Amino acid sequence: MSVILDFSMYPLDKGESLSPYVARSIKIIQESGLPYEFRSMGTSIEGEWEQVMAVVKRCFETMRQDCNRVVLSLKADYRQGPTGRMQRKVESVKEKL
Amino acid sequence: MSVILDFSMYPLDKGESLSPYVARSIKIIQESGLPYEFRSMGTSIEGEWEQVMAVVKRCFETMRQDCNRVVLSLKADYRQGPTGRMQRKVESVKEKL
Amino acid sequence: MSVILDFSMYPLDKGESLSPYVARSIKIIQESGLPYEFRSMGTSIEGEWEQVMAVVKRCFETMRQDCNRVVLSLKADYRQGPTGRMQRKVESVKEKL
Amino acid sequence: MSVILDFSMYPLDKGESLSPYVARSIKIIQESGLPYEFRSMGTSIEGEWEQVMAVVKRCFETMRQDCNRVVLSLKADYRQGPTGRMQRKVESVKEKL
């Protein structure tokens, strides 16, 4: 069950500057070896459900080790058929512009 | 790592009436034995990360068995301290109204 | 264009206890006179697009007056047909359980 | 009140291939003249609250003209200070990697 997953997470007790926390998550994502898109409002990864959820859990666990409250926002998109959709979805729209 | 998790999911290829699909998910949630709040725009459950994510996965797996495309939207909230927050959060706000 | 809208918002610079901020939003929602569901992970309101978005804006504006950073998460659901869906959606699922 | 807003929307009654609908939204976003990031799971735009919400409304209105049911998912991020955050947020994290 391959999915594209888009997520962001915030500690609520660390003030308004969060880039050190985000950088820690991006490192975890990079170490996973999964394809990813990193943008200002969230990061997308593509892979099997178990793989992508393991990455989200690792990011969440790491953040809560030194944060008392953490919120996560996540979207997942499954479509029957071949993987590699993260790139194809964007291309398919661009062809129509 | 106990969290409150709020989620909703939609098949994109089954038309605009989705209550039979939602009912199937609610049954899965009820069978989990976890405390839950079911409302018009999503369902919240509380439990350990592994428990709540297992419920989400079961709902997602069940939906995609007869749907070609499924989207999931999810929020999670972790806070250090005792469980039972799903109820306490609401009470704590109501006391201040 | 009547919609059901579900939302939650968090200040990122006020620490982990947020019920006073949530209570302020609930008061704004109550003053709007729109039907609403208040739950642990968010609040749903139903009304015309302009009405519900005006409520969200008022909550957001009020929060940012004394918060340096605020994040908002929102879902909207439009379906052609009569209003009063917030209640009917729940009933329609319960009938199938 | 300048915000970064990230959103995606889906018709529920048009089947699993949605790129023509997404392309229509991207054209509306491009016509707005606001800075934007388009990616596989959503699009981010930056501007004053009224500006970005007007774009979302135009996309939503356009989609529902020929769709019986539409769902919208949206995140907004406000931070006190200068605009241009969409780019700076990404750079600030990349410096820390």
Rounded mean pLDDT of chain D? 96
Q: Tell me if chain A has a CB within 8 Å of the CB of C74.
A: no
Given a contact as 3+ CB pairs under 8 Å, which chains touch D? A, B, C
Contact list in B for residue D11 (CB cut-off 8 A) is 12
Rounded mean pLDDT of chain A? 96
3-state SS string over chain D? CEEEEEEEEEECCCCCCCHHHHHHHHHHHHHHCCCEEEECCEEEEEEEHHHHHHHHHHHHHHHHHCCCEEEEEEEEEEECCCCCHHHHHHHHHHCCC
Give residue B78's pLDDT: 97
pLDDT digits (tens, 9 = 90+) for A7-16: 999 999 999 9
Say whether B97 and C26 touch across the interface (CB within 8 A).
yes
Range of the domain at B41: 2-95
Dist CA C21 CA D22 (whole Å): 36
pTM (2 decimals)? 0.96
Q: Tell me if chain D has a CB within 8 Å of the CB of A27.
A: yes
Note the maximum CA span of chain B: 46
Contact C69, C12 (CB under 8 A): yes
Angle (CA) A6 D83 A23, round 5°: 40
Contact D93, A22 (CB under 8 A): yes
Confidence of residue A29 (pLDDT cuts 50, 70, 90): very high
CA B30 from chain center: how many Å? 11
- What number is the average pLDDT over the span B60-74? 97
Give residue D54's pLDDT: 98
Closest Cα in chain B to D71: B10
Q: What's the number of domains chain B is made of?
A: 1
Q: At what angle do helices A49-65 and A19-32 cross, to 10 degrees?
A: 150
Residue that has been written with the tokens 């519900």 in this structure: C52
Confidence of residue A65 (pLDDT cuts 50, 70, 90): very high
Residue that has been written with the tokens 């943008």 in this structure: A39
Contact B45, B63 (CB under 8 A): no
Contact list in B for residue A62 (CB cut-off 8 A) is none
Say whether A78 and B70 touch across the interface (CB within 8 A).
yes
Rounded mean pLDDT of chain C? 96
Nearest to A27 among D30, D40, D97 (CB): D97
**Type of residue found at A90:** V
Judged by phi (left if over 0) then psi (alpha if -120 to 50, else beta), residue A83 lies in beta
- What number is the average pLDDT over the span B51-58? 98
Residue B89 sits in a domain whose CATH number is 3.30.70.930
Contact B48, B2 (CB under 8 A): yes
Give residue B95's pLDDT: 95
Closest Cα in chain C to B3: C41
pLDDT digits (tens, 9 = 90+) for C60-74: 999 999 999 999 999
Contact list in A for residue D44 (CB cut-off 8 A) is 39-41
Instruction: Work out the number of other CB atoms within 10 angstroms of the CB of residue D13.
Output: 17
